[in-house]
Structure 1
Amino acid sequence: MLDNPAVTPAVVTYQAPCGDHNDLAMTAAGTLGRALAERLAVPAQAVGVPAAVPEGAWEEALAAAGPDLAALADRYRSVFAAGHRPYGALSRCAAALATLPVVTARHPDAVVVWMDAHGDIHTPDTTGTGYLGGMALSGPLGWWDSGHGAGIGHGRAVLVGARDLDPAETAAVEGGRIACLPPGPGLAGELGEWLDGRPVYLHLDCDVLEPGIVPTDYRVPGGLKLDDLHAVCLAVAAASPLVGAEFAEYEGFDRATGRHVPPGELLDALSPLWAGM
């Protein structure tokens, strides 16, 4: 059940660097955002522009992205202040460092459904790669200070579709710091039961899907099919009030095949999140 289908959607695109390995998602976020805005019959509100990917580990990436992330947070605040529901088309997962603290400040009772092949719950003390995207959820959880806020309370986040967790992330799940629902035939039903009617903000990293469905930076076998994604979105829409959603890591161009993959089928799968608006 959408909490208020009459609420006007707002599409926000984030196209600036934010822990990128390449520049593909910056351009593709604009493509995704424009396609989504067309479906929802609203303008796409752009934050940031594609730029060169900064060199260095997470510290350099975070510093370079800082002004654009602050602008993204401000845009989300404006969207909520206007009484709209945000739908973000984000270049990379790390943009959630800015969005999720704003969401939880506005909706402290909301649950973050984090759909991703990975956990993204590393901290500066546990990361083995120094990749900013690997710490995208742990910052808003308050496990480290990103400089962009926190606020997700214990028990108000769930990893959905995760299947490539590092040892420190596995320990966090097994220790009860965060819930995890791995891929499987009963995933949508399990998620609906876990949500238990609580408000939801949904984050999608496209690599939660089986590799080859849409172009992504990471390719992790064992992922969801588009039908599975559609079922999860149906379960969310049926079980919980939706306060917003964001979609990240869509690259648009498949380097393996050399072809462009438009976002139409992806948006079809996600469509229960705005059905009736």
Structure 2
Amino acid sequence: MADHSTGGGWDLIVTPWHLDEHLPDFPVPVGATEVVRPALPAGPVPARMNLLHRATVDAVTRAARPLVLSGDCPTTRAAVAGVQRRHSDLAVLWLDAHGDFNTPAISTSGYLGGMALAMLTGRTPGLLDDAIGLRPVPETSVVLADARDLDPAEHDALATSRVHRVPADPAAVTDALGRLGDVPVHLHLDIDVIDGAELPGARFPSGPGPSLARIEDCLAAACATATVVAAYIACAWLPGHAGDQTSRRTVTRLTASLGATLDWH
């Protein structure tokens, strides 16, 4: 199903959802290989998310080199499960203002979006179903960049984990990925890793942080250092901001750092 319309050998997949909420105004670049819009029946949020993730893993499996634009972080589990069908060993580079390392046992809000990385590493058994065939990614194969905004219990969980934590700095990212060895990498980025002053309309702004230019450098460094076989950008803006010109320019710059060219017209 390779289209490669974005350049750089990427197949662009768009999942216009936040958890189980469809985002009708989520921007879809011209030439997207696939837009994932399954019909979700009424029901509990996790059950609806399971159906969305099953549709997403199928789309990712059909792609030669998936680049996913999404409205949340948890759907990345479907992207990883799809990539794992092609790569038996996989590392994860996770750039985010948050740790996304909460679990139902320690979360103060119960917000599923704050558990996305914990889902990948097998810390949330039974939370969502295993029909997508996700194999837990070993914590030693995860590099978490930035994560400046952590809940207290989440901070403690990360401190006792084996996740590699680094600042959002190109040299630090390069060093951490180099230490993982020659293993394919799934790159995950939540836009809120960018300094809040440069990111109007973010769902969960986290104040001062690395500039957009610094994050671009991190992405370029990752691609120069590792074999990035899949990428996922969580465009976690409020619905009214997801499609505005500033947001589109941000996503365009981020994907360009990965070697992809987006066309919005």
Distance 1:160 1:188 in 2: 10
Identity percentage over the alignment? 25
CA contact (8 A) 2:8 2:259 kept: no
| 2:255 aligned residue | 270
SS of equivalent residue, structure 2 residue 136? coil
CA contact (8 A) 1:119 1:162 kept: yes
| 1:12 aligned residue | 13
| 2:53 aligned residue | 69
Give the drift of 1:17.
Answer: 4.3
Residue identity matched to 1:204: L
Distance 1:17 1:213 in 2: 22
Give the drift of 1:98.
Answer: 1.8
- Which has the larger displacement, 196-205 or 217-226? 196-205
SS of equivalent residue, structure 1 residue 161? strand
Q: Give the alignment's TM-score, normalised by structure 1.
A: 0.78
CA contact (8 A) 2:40 2:52 kept: no
| 1:3 aligned residue | none
Structure 2 spans left out of the alignment, 5+ residues: 1-6
**Pick from 197, 203, 207: which aligns with 1:217?**
203
Residue identity matched to 1:46: V
1:179 equivalent to 2:168? Answer no
CA contact (8 A) 1:139 1:150 kept: no
Q: Quick one: structure 1 residues 98 and 267, their matched pair in 2 at CA, closer, same or farther if it must change by over 3 Å?
A: same
**Pick from 160, 169, 173: which aligns with 2:145?**
160
SS of equivalent residue, structure 1 residue 221? coil
Residue identity matched to 2:68: G
| 1:195 aligned residue | 177
Give the drift of 1:49.
Answer: 6.5
Give the drift of 1:250.
Answer: 3.7
Q: Deviations over 1:104-162 (max 9, x none)?
A: 34323322111111111111111111101011111121112221433312311121121
Q: Quick one: structure 1 residues 151 and 7, their matched pair in 2 at CA, closer, same or farther if it must change by over 3 Å?
A: farther
Distance 1:238 1:157 in 2: 18
SS of equivalent residue, structure 1 residue 169? helix
Structure 1 spans left out of the alignment, 5+ residues: 1-5
| 2:4 aligned residue | none
| 1:43 aligned residue | 32
| 2:224 aligned residue | 238
Q: Quick one: structure 1 residues 77 and 109, their matched pair in 2 at CA, closer, same or farther if it must change by over 3 Å?
A: same
Distance 2:9 2:241 in 1: 33
Superposition CA RMSD, Å: 2.8
CA contact (8 A) 2:96 2:146 kept: yes
Distance 1:254 1:15 in 2: 13
Q: Deviations over 1:45-78 (max 9, x none)?
A: 01126999x89xxxx3222222111111111112
- Which has the larger displacement, 96-105 or 43-52? 43-52
Q: Deviations over 1:157-180 (max 9, x none)?
A: 121121011222222322233121
Give the drift of 1:44.
Answer: 3.4
Distance 1:192 1:139 in 2: 25
